[in-house]
Amino acid sequence: MSTWEATGIGAHPGEDHLEAIRVVFGEAPGLPYLPELPGRGVGADMVGRTAGLLVDLPVEVQPSGWRLADRPGRDHQRAVDHLRRDLDGLEEIGHDYAGPLKLQVCGPWTLAGAIELKHGDKMLSDVGAVRDLVASLAQGVADHCAEVRRRLPGVTEIVLQLDEPGLPGVLAGTVPTASGFGRLAAVEEWRVEESLRSFEAPIVHCCAPSAPFDLLRRAGVRGVSVDAALLRRRDEDALGEAVEAGLAFFLGVVPGTDTRLPGPGVVAKPALELWRRLGFAPDRLAAQVTLTPACGLAGATPGYARAALAACRKAAQVLREDPESGS
């Protein structure tokens, strides 16, 4: 079970990576993370940033999006350079940090639905290509985690988050082909389960409706990250089984874009109400649930991004001080 109180999903607004890292360490001290700034452009977006980690699978940008390439070129290098600067900043600001650290990467299925083969459809259309992608990503992520540990020797554990907003569509067969005129075939659940076991105890973030809780539990993931507003009553049996199995829950309780934020008790309310409906003890809520914004904060203002993280942290304190009240 987690003992983290609050954290963010990953994406931040603007282009100042040093300031974003300072905000994260200041407002999410229990589980800070390496923020992503997609506003910097090509190679800083979720797909390009993760594609830069792939081993022996170089990519480039075409008018249709990211595509496999024969050799690393300018676009690939841009992604690598963005990440290197971010790691330099992380080392500068977090050099004396001791504790857990979260790293986010695009998950293999969302990645496979976004990157095209050199001469054909998306990687998702080719079982062999997906297998190669999973292996390449798993190795690239392991190398990335090792570099972070080397740069920040005080990190006690790395919490890996796989961003999989595309996973429900992959399972439902609704991912469009490269042409946009058709849909790629649905992927069998066992293939997804098998792929997720290639990563060491990940948290899977799915900010789309119909997150596959049963599949994720069977795959042995460490936890699930979801937007509380997208949960439906029909999800609750699967949610209950996941809680019983000891999965950590990252629960999105504040919007990812600017709004007026209510007090900590109101922010904590979705977590409290869900827990009561599921019938679990309040003290288990404090141990198993980490509060987050509903999704990334790239579309917010810098001031709101800071306030959203602070609101999650204060609401988590309410849960721990008096989980029965939520006031």
Domain definitions of the chain by residue range: 41-221
Q: Give the C-alpha distances (Å, rounded to integers) separating 174 from 67, 119, 163, 181, 247.
A: 20, 22, 18, 11, 28
The pLDDT value given to residue 284: 87
Percent of the chain with pLDDT over 90: 89
Q: For the chain, how many helices (H) and strands (E)?
A: 12, 8
The pLDDT value given to residue 283: 82
Instruction: Give me the DSSP letters along 156-195.
Output: EEEEEEEE-TTHHHHHHT-PBPTTSSSBPPPPPHHHHHHH
Phi/psi for 203 (5° steps) reads -90, 125
For the chain, how far is it from start to end, CA to CA, in angstroms?
25
* Over residues 89-98, mean pLDDT: 97
Neighbours of 182 (CB within 10 A): 12
The pLDDT value given to residue 3: 67
Query: Does the structure show a pLDDT above 80 at 326?
Result: no
Can you tell me the distance from the alpha carbon of 133 to that of 294, in angstroms, rounded to the nearest whole number? 28
* 148, two tokens: 């972070």
* pTM, two decimal places: 0.96
* Over residues 17-39, mean pLDDT: 97
* Over residues 249-257, mean pLDDT: 96
Q: Which of the four pLDDT bands, split at 50, 70 and 90, describes residue 208?
A: confident
Using one digit for the tens of pLDDT, what is the confidence trace for 267-323? 999 999 999 999 998 888 888 999 999 999 999 999 999 999 999 999 999 888 865
Can you tell me the distance from the alpha carbon of 78 to that of 60, in angstroms, rounded to the nearest whole number? 10
Can you tell me the distance from the alpha carbon of 165 to that of 67, in angstroms, rounded to the nearest whole number? 19
